[in-house]
Amino acid sequence: MTPERPEQKTNVQLAFYEPEHQAVLESFYLPEEKKQFTGMPNEVLGSAIQEQHKHPVVILADTRPVGFFILDGGEDVHGFTDSPHALLLRSFSINEKDQGKGYAKQAMLQLRAFVREHFPEIRLVVLAVNARNAPAKSLYLKCGFEDHGAIRVGPIGTQHILTCSV
């Protein structure tokens, strides 16, 4: 009889985008019903790299990219909050083959510490989640975001504005 091996836990961490992540990020896939709610890395990465106020972040499972988002400190954030010390979280996605493994939740639970470490002047992270994207809204609320009832009309319908104090 062989002893049972303990389950290996995947190390999930947030890291700023590096060029070696690009090929994997550009291969991310989401079906249309999920893709409508986010900007895919292959669509938004180029401009995010070039714009100084946008900070592409990669979600790594061990060393493999499984997710992506942008922290945006540009003018767009003012459409969501009056706070001068805020970042806008946008284009959040987990590659379809890596969904359901807890990577999104682990990443969002690390967000506050990541922002505190790399953006010490920031006090608030804000995002917009489509009203029809209930799984995403539920995840954000479980991970420390709050819904104070603010809404706006986005490109494909009503969006709830959620905030997270850092």
Which residue ranges make up each domain of the chain? 12-120
Helices within 22-160 (DSSP H only):
22-26, 32-35, 41-50, 103-118, 134-142
The model's pLDDT over 119-151, given as tens digits with 9 standing for 90+, comes to: 999 999 999 999 999 999 999 999 999 999 999
The model's pLDDT over 7-21, given as tens digits with 9 standing for 90+, comes to: 457 799 999 999 999
The model's pLDDT over 11-64, given as tens digits with 9 standing for 90+, comes to: 999 999 999 999 999 999 887 788 778 888 888 999 999 999 999 999 999 999
CATH code, residues 12-120? 3.40.630.30
Beta strand 86-94 with 124-130 is: parallel
The pTM of the full predicted model, rounded to 2 decimals, is 0.90
